[in-house]
Amino acid sequence: MNASTPLLEACLRSGARSRVVHGRETGDALRPAEGSLYLADLSALPKVLLHGGGAAARLAEAGLAVPELMRVAAAADGGFVACRAPRQFLVGIGCEGTVPGDALRVDGIDFALGGGRGGDSVDDLLVEGCPTDLAQFDAGAFVPTLLFGIEVGLWRMPAAYGAHWRVIAAPADGEFLAATLLEAVHARRGGLAGFGDYFAMICN
């Protein structure tokens, strides 16, 4: 049996179908109303940690970006490289990527949050749930902060992918964070986006 992602059951209740990505079951074929606030579960994408003096060289050899400290390099397939500490890189494996066999797996919660307008926008939601003034950070800045009381890492995706935020957190916080974010999204007349639907939106 495949492990499931935090929002799978909520997606299925909303009419999504199941899809297996990198060995984890997630919700798919669920498209939010155009322009509305949305929440997508990308937790099926694996994460690995590279650290030490050779970490940057290893990234470069693999053809991956080597971001500066507290920066994130993101790709359209969901992959990313985040430098969270000196010589330490969190690497998100994209849809078509493979997990290095000798890398330290650190899979966790991974959501995308975007869309909406005015008081129903993602920025309004983040102002409510996050004590940090996120307006001071540009796209690609890695922001360790709290979101509805949970320790998370946030970054704004480049406008080329449709302005939105990625949210990562520890697995232990997945159920609470998923439920809290979904409630906040529904309160703003938003909804869930399926795994493939998210990529269709940002690559459109």
Start-end of H helices in 17-106: 55-61
Structure tokens at 204: 């459109």
Torsion-angle region of 180 (φ positive above 0: left; ψ -120 to 50: alpha; else: beta): alpha
Using 50, 70 and 90 to split pLDDT, how confident is the model at 204? low
| 49-53, 86-90, 95-99: range with lowest mean pLDDT | 95-99
Q: What is the pLDDT of residues 151-171, one digit of tens each?
A: 999 999 998 888 899 999 999
Using 50, 70 and 90 to split pLDDT, how confident is the model at 102? confident
Other CB atoms closer than 10 Å to residue 32's CB: what's the count? 24
Residue 15 has pLDDT above 90, yes or no: yes
Q: Give me the pLDDT at residue 104, please.
A: 86
In this structure, are residues 89 and 160 in contact, taking their beta carbons and an 8 Å threshold?
A: no
Instruction: Show the domains of the chain with their CATH numbers.
Output: 3-44+108-202 (3.30.1360.120), 47-105 (no CATH)
Q: Give me the pLDDT at residue 113, please.
A: 97
Q: Which amino acid is at 62?
A: A
CA distance 116 to 73: 25
Q: What is the pTM of this model?
A: 0.95
Using 50, 70 and 90 to split pLDDT, how confident is the model at 172? very high
Structure tokens at 55: 């970490």
In this structure, are residues 145 and 132 in contact, taking their beta carbons and an 8 Å threshold?
A: yes
